[in-house]
Amino acid sequence: MRKQHIVISGAGFAGLTLARKLNNRPGIRVTLIEQYNFHQFQPLLYQVASAGLDAGNISFPLRKIFQRSNNTTIEMGKITRVLPGSNLLVTSNGILSYDILVLATGCSTNFFGNDNLRRYALPMKSTYNAIGVRNKLLQNLEALSRNAGNRSLDHLYNIVIAGGGPTGVELSGAFAELRNKVLPKDYPGLDCSRINIYLLEKGKRLLPSMSEKSGIQSEQYLTSLGVHVICDTGVTDFNGKTVILDNDTKIQSGLLIWAAGISGNIPDGIDPACINQQNRLYVDGYSRVKTYENIYAVGDVSIMSLHHHPDGHPQVCKVANDQGSLLAKNLLHSLKGKKGKPFRYKDLGTMATVGRNKAVVDGFPFAHAHFKGWIAWMMWMGFHLYKLLGVKNKIQVFVNWAYKYFTYDQNLRLIIRPDDKDIPELYDHNSSDMKAKQADDFSSGSHSVPMSGVLTEK
């Protein structure tokens, strides 16, 4: 019996959950396409950026997860174009056919068309981004240490974080603790009190996705740590040395971290009518992309507008996990001719940490519940340890946290920047136009064009 081919693009929370639920199921074969060969635990990226955790502590190899799979293929690559009429995909490795396509590609940083921000500001959406932020921070400190008294480098003392959501709040708190407890010992010849951390939020308060009480308390925590919190203010430009705000104020800075906007990662070929202003895909209650019968989207790249969530669901890992899990059940039911169930999200709360013994929690364990301080911090740590993949990773993260708690220190302040010549090319250089032509030839029955990668029979 021919097996139904399900292609999943993206191994974030939603895509990986879906692939694991479909693992070793009869009647289907799964291809999981991901540009990295590992799953990255995004909620803890800020700790990699602030030298609190090693990148390997929050990453897990995909091939290890599916070592005992008899129906799942891992393909390191990226979908560049979808040809829905032919059920074909143009990927960085060649052409691939599908019966069902699931886009779980997540979101990337949105610089809102500002080329200077794209060039000079640092995003925080991947492990590589987090390592880049850590490198830049430590390199600035090394430059200041070598050139003490050089006023032309004063802008390197200022760190600016744009975006007062969980990423911005958690990163600001981590940098403040690093400055207050660690850097004075690492750089005794440097006046670390001159290091300023600015957190900018375009809205009225921090943590707009959480309760007003949490926003106020997180600002109080950050202020007590010495962070300059500025709300009702956005960034309009940055040239690598000067951050220009929308009220024409300027902050001299050598490090701007951009956590102020997202944009969905959608390959070419999808009907623009299915895409909203944030470049996210409209889906129905079954995660099916509108106007398509066999294309689905789950996780952050999707927006499901239902009566109880008219503006879509919060972009948190629980939503992604729940969507991936339900879609797997529905796809398996469809193989048996049964009707699936629509998605219903049960909100178990949101949380954010600011630093040692400082966190806020909303809606857990029951609606309208609110916690702050040490108990909220313990709840935050317990939840993230539970969600982290791999027993070894859980142990390493717990040990690192315990060591840091008792010593106020961590030995991960490493600058790792390989030369370009040391990085092998991951993908071939066939243009997307050539691969699109190959796909057209394949769908029309002409097989004379050589193609990279593996062709899968429809």
Average pLDDT over residues 319-324: 96
Q: Assess whether 400 and 431 both reside in one domain.
A: no
End-to-end CA distance of the chain: give it in Å, rounded. Answer: 14
**Which whole number is the average pLDDT over 287-303?**
96
Indicate whether 225 and 89 sit together in one domain: no
For residue 423, what pLDDT is reported?
43
CATH code, domain with 236: 3.50.50.100
pLDDT at residue 328 greater than cutoff 80: yes
At 173 the pLDDT is 97
Percent of the chain with pLDDT over 70: 91
**Does the pLDDT at position 237 exceed 80?**
yes
Helix, strand or coil, per DSSP, at residue 144? helix
Listed as own residue / partner, the contacts of 414-420 with beta carbons closer than 8 Å and 24 or more positions apart are 414/51, 414/134, 414/138, 415/134, 415/135, 415/138, 415/139, 415/142, 416/131, 416/135, 417/135
Claim to verify: residue 212 and residue 340 sit in the same structural domain = no
Asked whether residue 453 is assigned to any structural domain, the reply reads no
Is the predicted pLDDT of residue 391 greater than 60, yes or no?
yes
Percent of the chain scored above 90 by pLDDT?
Answer: 81
Length of the chain, please? Answer: 458
Segment 424-432 mean pLDDT: 44
Do 152 and 102 lie in one domain? The reply is no
Do 360 and 376 form a contact (C-beta atoms < 8 A)?
A: yes
- Find the mean pLDDT for residues 10-37: 96
Does 354 lie in the same domain as 334?
A: no
Q: What does the alpha-carbon distance between residue 288 and residue 58 come to, in Å, rounded to a whole number?
A: 31
Which segments of 77-206 are extended strands (E)? Answer: 79-83, 88-91, 94-97, 100-103, 107-109, 122-123, 158-162, 196-201
pLDDT at 457: 35
337-371 pLDDT, tens digit per residue, is 999 999 999 888 899 999 999 999 998 888 889 99
- Say yes or no: 26 and 162 in one domain: no
- 68-108: per-residue pLDDT in tens? 999 999 999 999 999 999 999 999 999 999 999 999 999 99
Q: Which amino acid is at 382?
A: G
pLDDT at residue number 428: 43
* pLDDT score, position 366: 82
Residue 433: pLDDT band with limits 50, 70, 90: low
Render 339-384 in DSSP notation, one character per residue: -----------EEEEEETTEEEEES-SSTT-EEEHHHHHHHHHHHH
Nearest 10 degrees: Cα torsion 283, 287, 292, 297: 90
Same domain for 183 and 316, yes or no, is no
- Judge whether 420 lies within some domain: no
Report cis status (omega within 30 of 0) of the bond before 84. Answer: no
**Confidence (pLDDT) at 255:** 97
- Find the mean pLDDT for residues 180-191: 94
In a domain, 52, yes or no: no
Q: How many domains in the chain?
A: 2
- Is 272 found in the same domain as 251? no
In a domain, 374, yes or no: yes
Q: What is the mean pLDDT of residues 419-444?
A: 49
pTM of the model: 0.88
Q: Check: CB of residue 158 under 8 Å from CB of residue 434.
A: no
Q: Residue 195: its pLDDT value, please?
A: 97
Q: Please, what is the angle between helix 391-407 and helix 373-387, to 10°?
A: 150
Q: What is the pLDDT of residue 424?
A: 44
**DSSP code, position 323:** H
Report the candidate in 426, 414, 355, 411 with the shortest Cα–Cα distance to residue 132: 414
CB 158 within 8 A of CB 196: yes
- Are residues 215 and 290 both part of a single domain? no
DSSP state of 181: I
Average pLDDT, the chain: 90
pLDDT at 458 > cutoff 50: no
User: Average pLDDT for residues 408-424, to the nearest whole number?
Assistant: 70
CATH assignment of the domain containing 324: 3.50.50.60
The pair of structure tokens assigned to 118 is: 């794209």
Predicted confidence (pLDDT) at residue 453 exceeds the cutoff of 90: no
Mean pLDDT within 408-413 = 85
Higher-confidence residue: 261 or 207? Answer: 207
d(CA 380, CA 7) in angstroms, rounded, equals: 34
Please count the other Cβ atoms lying within 10 Å of the Cβ belonging to residue 4: 16
Is 68 domain-assigned?
A: no
Residue 458 lies in a domain: no
pLDDT grade for 438, boundaries at 50, 70 and 90: low
What gap in Å lies between CA 52 and CA 56, rounded to an integer?
12
Q: Distance of CA 273 to CAs 9, 16, 267, 279, 307, Å?
A: 21, 27, 14, 11, 21
pLDDT at residue 435 above 60? no
Give me 277's structure tokens. Answer: 């202003």
Q: For residues 170-180, give the mean pLDDT.
A: 96
Beta strands 100-103; 242-245: pairing state: unpaired
- 97, 17: one domain: yes
**What's the gap between Cα 348 and its chain centre?**
21
Are residues 231 and 157 both part of a single domain? yes
272 and 217 belong to one structural domain: no
* Residue 62 domain flag: no
Residue 19: domain span: 4-35+77-109+263-344+425-444
* pLDDT score at 440: 54
Is 119 a residue whose pLDDT tops 60? Answer: yes
